[in-house]
Amino acid sequence: MCELLVLLLCAAAVNFARADFSFASYYGNHMVLQKAPERAVLWGYGLEGSKVMVVLQGEQENKVRSAHVQNGTWRVTLDPVEAGGPYNVTAFQLGPAEAKITLTDVLFGDVWLCGGQSNMYLQLSKVFNASEEQAMAPKFPNVRIFMASLELSKRELIDLPKVEIPWSVPSSELLGNFSAVCWLFGRYLYKTLRYPVGLVESCWGGTPVEAWSSSWALQKCGLEADDGSYLYIIPGETGPEPKRENSVLWNAMIHPLVNMTIKGAIWYQGEDNTIYHLDKYACSFPAMIDDWRATFHEGSGGQTAADFPFGFVQLCTPNQGHIIDKFARLRWHQTADYGFTPNPRMKNTFMAVSLDLPDKDSPWGSIHPRDKQDVAYRLMLGARAVAYGEKDVSFQGPFPAKIMLSGDIINITYTQTISVTKSKTIFEVCCTEVKQTCSIDSKWVSAPIMQWGPSSVQVSTELCEDIVSGLRHAWSDWPCEFKACPVYSADGELPAPPFTLNRWP
């Protein structure tokens, strides 16, 4: 306390208006810093060799931390602070160029990073019931928002080049331009946590996973060489485009954030990879998650967990009527080809299945469904179960535990009780003349649902005139209509995700 009093007395006697002393771009008034047990990291810029002292004043005892400016930057790690606030954070630069900066209305809570492409970027003003959603902003002053600008770089940056929305208390106007999935996830989560939530949006529409991955992550999957061959062939958007090049968004929009202490991340991306390195996604997506975790852990000095929780949205649907299976394959690869998460390759992850939320009349194109409420709610359930360890929270749709072929019937036993409606097309069997592994080019025929029990479904193989060599479920770009898939959890809330199974290796 004596050190604090001396510092405050010294501060009163000098002029504190120097532009060369500052916090990094993503600190500001109204921000949320990561709460205990983790420790929040603060850093910024200053005069080389100067001493910087940071004072936290608010609900808990005043805390002082100090550091010296080295290579033009300073950095301190606060003691753990319990959820709550508001606090003032004041940084003093001492020495030949005294300066002072105070950030006000700072809260401590959980900070979540929201990344991906256009379905994460889609603003709250574009979803169903947008005006009602925006009007609720004043009810959630402790859910704070921040948005990085759309930038790219050929090299890793240490700070964001530009900020689109600085840390802010939510308002109807601001939320109209903020990610719907990110906001709704945070809002739903706050209702459970009852303490502050910070949401950091850093995403860009029309981008592949390679753009968000470091060169290290790409090397793990043999993707480090960017030959500029990516062509995005739709009317008006034939590439290549700079924002789709390897690592350019990692460099400019993710790497600058790695010193920040975060609780976890959510992700909605994959549409671009249905036409670019599709069958590499089972490697590239988990590799990106691994790299984000390792780099945020190192960048925060070990404060961000080395296995921080990572949630993602399994892709919805493109245009109705397509019978190609690119989206089905991408959905499968999003799980590292396990079909569910968490799994041995993707630990501490959670998935929101969205294939039952199509929107053929969306004014933003059917690839951009307007029902982001269900998407965010399903993500929130996964976060409660995986990130917060809540027991008895149902967050996964039914997945097969056992599959048995007997005569012309396949019996599928699920991991949980289920709700079923009849379907002639949701299941398919692979028919081959000899015992062999099935592929996308194999002959697949419908396997109608015949009957079901509390946790099992029986499907018919009578349409297969040869050997039944495989089984798959919901394996199309548009497998079912809005909330009308045939197999759900017992409460009818969570759809069964797609799967594919070979009978022969």
> For each successive 10 residues of the chain (505 residues), what is the average pLDDT?
40 42 97 98 96 90 87 96 96 93 98 98 98 97 98 97 98 98 98 98 97 97 70 52 94 98 98 95 98 98 98 90 80 98 98 97 95 98 98 96 96 97 96 92 95 97 95 94 97 97 89
Residues 405 and 329 reside in one and the same domain: no
Residues 408 and 462 reside in one and the same domain: yes
Mean pLDDT of the chain: 92
> Is residue 45 a part of any domain in this protein?
no
Residues 383 and 262 reside in one and the same domain: yes
pTM equals: 0.93
**Nearest Cα to 265, choosing from 277, 254, 280?**
254
* Cα 61 to Cα 329: distance, rounded to the nearest angstrom: 54
Residues 371 and 405 reside in one and the same domain: no
> Is residue 181 a part of any domain in this protein?
yes
> Which of 334, 357, 387 is at the close of a domain?
387
> Is residue 342 a part of any domain in this protein?
yes
Contact assessment for residue 240 and residue 187, using Cβ atoms and an 8 Å cutoff: no
Residues 282 and 316 reside in one and the same domain: yes
> Which of 356, 387, 418 is at the close of a domain?
387
Q: Which pLDDT score, from 0 to 100, does residue 234 have?
A: 47
> Is residue 42 a part of any domain in this protein?
no
Neighbouring residues of 183: CB distance < 8 A, sequence distance ≥ 6? 124, 143, 145, 170, 175, 199, 376
* Cα 445 to Cα 99: distance, rounded to the nearest angstrom: 73
Contact assessment for residue 87 and residue 108, using Cβ atoms and an 8 Å cutoff: yes
> Which of 335, 352, 387 is at the close of a domain?
387
* Cα 349 to Cα 364: distance, rounded to the nearest angstrom: 29
**% residues pLDDT > 90 (the chain):** 88
> Is residue 82 a part of any domain in this protein?
no
> Is residue 378 a part of any domain in this protein?
yes
Domains identified in the chain, total number: 2
Q: What residue numbers bound the domain in which 170 lies?
A: 108-387
Q: Residue 366 belongs to a domain with what CATH number?
A: 3.40.50.1110
